[in-house]
Amino acid sequence: MIGRLNGLLAIKRAPQILVDCQGVGYEVDVSMSTFYQLPEEGEAVSIWTHLLIKEDHHALVGFYTDQERKLFRLLIKVNGVGPKMALTILSGISETDFAVCIQSSDVSTLMRLPGVGKKTAERLIIEMRDKVEALDADEEFTANSPGGATPHSKNSQKSEAIEALQSLGYKPADATKMINAVVKSTPDSSAESLIKLALQNAIS
């Protein structure tokens, strides 16, 4: 899977760009949130990507931050929300504001987004609440850029630990609470230590 592209921004025509990677041009669909943060044509660019595979074609979707990509991947799992609507949502509202809408059950604001009716807004709130809480607990959700956090930063260790617990079957909200509880007492621990402590607390 193509997870990231590093190259020159050959063409910038919303909502699609062309990234030249050593002579190979990749057409990438992007949200307007990402589009506004891109450099000018001819300049170096680095974007996170998600590969969409359909019966008749493959398509790349690009994101300026990995957190936006994570939110996109969560959105397309919601019943009735496809890639096109997910990009529309990301284009019309910031990640932080979206999280606030979900957590406060703000149906009216979500309905202002193109193509989002009342039923879709209500479904987003129901299906995204726990997932957004998990993302929002990671401070990188509100302040992130490519290469922003170092692999060994406190936020990175915390995020890695939360994702590991989720892979073990814990719900996003539960995993976040478990890690937050141990981070308070051991703020500088590695992801491995945080996971171990959280699991010990869960069975004690």
CATH code at 177? 1.10.8.10
Count of domains for the chain:
3
For residue 25, give the CATH number of its domain.
Answer: 2.40.50.140
Q: How confident is the model at residue 122, as a pLDDT?
A: 94
| Longest alpha-carbon distance in the chain | 57
Three-state secondary structure call for residue 115: coil
CA quadruple 47, 58, 84, 136: dihedral sign: negative
How many residues are there in the chain?
A: 204
Domain boundary among 98, 118, 141: 141
Residue 3 Cα distances to 11, 28, 136, 140, 194, angstroms: 20, 12, 23, 19, 27
Q: Which tokens belong to 75?
A: 């959105």
Does some domain include residue 13? yes
pTM of the model: 0.67
pLDDT values of the chain reduced to their tens digit, one per residue, 204 residues: 789 999 999 999 888 999 999 999 999 999 888 988 999 999 999 999 999 988 788 899 999 999 899 999 999 999 889 998 999 899 888 888 898 899 899 999 999 887 889 999 999 999 998 887 766 555 455 444 443 333 345 567 788 788 777 766 677 888 888 888 888 777 777 877 888 888 877 765
Residue 135 maps to which CATH number? 1.10.150.20
Question: Is 76 domain-assigned?
Answer: yes
Last residue of a domain, one of 141, 165, 185: 141
Residue 142: what pLDDT? 46
Q: Clarify whether residues 126 and 191 are in a common domain.
A: no
Q: What angle do CA 100, 104, 106 make, to 5 degrees?
A: 90
Q: Which class for 203: exposed (0-12), middle (13-18), buried (19 or more C-beta within 10 A)? A: exposed
Domain of 21 in residue numbering reads as 4-63
Please name the residue ranges forming H helices in the chain.
32-35, 66-75, 83-92, 95-103, 107-110, 118-137, 154-167, 172-185, 191-203
Provide the pLDDT for residue 47.
96
Same domain membership, residue 48 and residue 76: no
Q: What are the structure tokens assigned to 41, written together?
A: 């044509």
